[in-house]
Structure 1
Amino acid sequence: MAVVETETHGQILVVRMNRPDRLNALNHEMRTELSKVWNEFRHSKKLEVAIFTGAGRGFCAGEDMKESLKDGAPGGRRPEIEDPFMAGTLEKPVIAAINGFAMGGGFMLVERTDLRVAVREAVFEVSEAKRWLLGGYNHGHIANLPYPVAMEMALGFRFTAQRFHEIGFVNRLVDAAELMPTAIGMAEHLLTLPPASRVNTVHM
């Protein structure tokens, strides 16, 4: 079973993390496969917009701690991977279709997307503070939240999709059956814009 599945709808690429038994936790294999997908998407002459989602009831539970403990520490022996999505050099818009839990590194993936649609049941949390790993969350991928909200997030408080929608971190809040249709509708709207507009508005 592929840990990352893709499908295309015309000029739209759907990228689906596929480890539902582990809530799509990020292991070495998944990181490697995602980097390949994002590099292919970046250089594609046909595909212009991507939708990023997860299989099962979770978007992404973050670091695969089971694998990390085998490696000696969270992120231990993590291979160096050229990933334009993580590096912010993709230059094509990515829409998050958040189907459930987005925890730790999973929240970091959401933060790197340009537009976000979430099911009402989705929850977000950065749990590193509970494991004495707060350092990486003081800055960077929570910096575009209002300061008090960023601090609350960094200190391990859990956020509902409803609250993130209210503060503007999530664009659309939908029922599960409407998640992909809504994301595809947003992608189709982006395709009506001039290519330069799509590129120039990424990560403004």
Structure 2
Amino acid sequence: MAYEFIKVERDGPITTVTLNRPEVMNALHSPAHFELAEAFDAFAADPEQWVAIVTGAGERAFSAGNDLKHQAGGGKMGSPPSGFAGLTSRFDLTKPLIAAVNGVAMGGGFEIALACDIIIASEAAVFALPEPRVGLAALAGGLHRLPRAIGTKRAMSMILTARRVSAAEGKDLGFVAEVTKPDALMATAMTWAKGICELGPMSIRASKEAVYKGLDEPSLEAALKAQNQYPAIAALYRSEDFVEGPLAFSQKRAPAWKGR
């Protein structure tokens, strides 16, 4: 499908979604949100696609967040039910997402990255939730995901100052998994994606769902009791891959995953 504000590419079981508005530092307006929602709907529904990488076009920005000039100029506003960038309220996606942050990730841009499961950052990346500087608040998940990712006190040191954090500090704080040279970013993100694809895709989806749903349970005991009722875990038990993994191990060969 042809898109105007994003690019979608596939390499085997890996989908790469590129925010493609470099002239405005990949800031997003309503039409871009709906394109992204459509792209991630297609990724979620495609049994041949197992992992997605999200990045930004150009060298300056992953995403500067909400397109405030579009908003101030009276441009059409609105976002899909799946939230900012079609991601921040998408709570049922069990396939893993990798953010390859190539530059500025501000406000909603940082919230997109936080909605992904793994963040790989270029040395040029900068992260912040600067909404209070313009009288707004990071209400697309940043105020909730960041404390869950790095702890309340560390998160508040960013949120209540709107300060900018480098890729290196992001790694120290714990929300960045790896920092790379700018020209190695996409290759590094692809290495992570390919590594995930070597594993059982049904197992990966079950593991992701168990982590996020388990964190919402009132206790560890409750999480252990509830996990077998989670859809991705039930699907794992019913899958061909659940048989193939142990069989391949016993036969001393690489498993032939089917993702079903």
TM exceeds 0.5?
Answer: yes
> How many residues are paired up?
201
Is the 8 Å Cα contact of residues 18 and 57 (structure 2) preserved in structure 1? yes
What percentage of residue pairs aligned between the two structures are identical? 32
Aligned Cα root-mean-square deviation (Å): 2.0
Aligned residue for 1:142? 146
Pairwise CA distance, 1:138: 8.0
* Residue 52 of structure 1, aligned match among 46, 51, 54: 54
- Please give the per-residue CA displacement for 1:17-44, whole angstroms capped at 9, x wherever unaligned: 0000100001011101100000000000
Separation (CA, whole Å) in 1 of partners of 2:193 and 2:9: 14
Structure 1, unmatched stretches of 5+, are none
* Residue 202 of structure 2, aligned match among 191, 196, 202: 196
| Structure with greater helix percent | 2
Structure 2, unmatched stretches of 5+, are 212-260
Q: Is the partner of 1:108 in helix, strand or coil?
A: helix
Pairwise CA distance, 1:192: 1.1
Pairwise CA distance, 1:90: 1.5
| Structure with greater strand percent | 1
- Please give the per-residue CA displacement for 1:65-113, whole angstroms capped at 9, x wherever unaligned: 01111348xxx84144446632222111000100000000000000011
Is the 8 Å Cα contact of residues 48 and 191 (structure 1) preserved in structure 2? yes
* Residue 164 of structure 1, aligned match among 158, 165, 170: 170
Q: Is the partner of 1:157 in helix, strand or coil?
A: coil
Is the 8 Å Cα contact of residues 44 and 93 (structure 2) preserved in structure 1? yes
- Please give the per-residue CA displacement for 1:108-143, whole angstroms capped at 9, x wherever unaligned: 000011111100111011111112223737842322
Separation (CA, whole Å) in 1 of partners of 2:77 and 2:5: 20
52 and 79 in structure 1: CA distance in 2 versus 1, 3 angstrom threshold: closer
Separation (CA, whole Å) in 2 of partners of 1:118 and 1:80: 27
Structure whose alpha-carbon radius of gyration is higher? 2
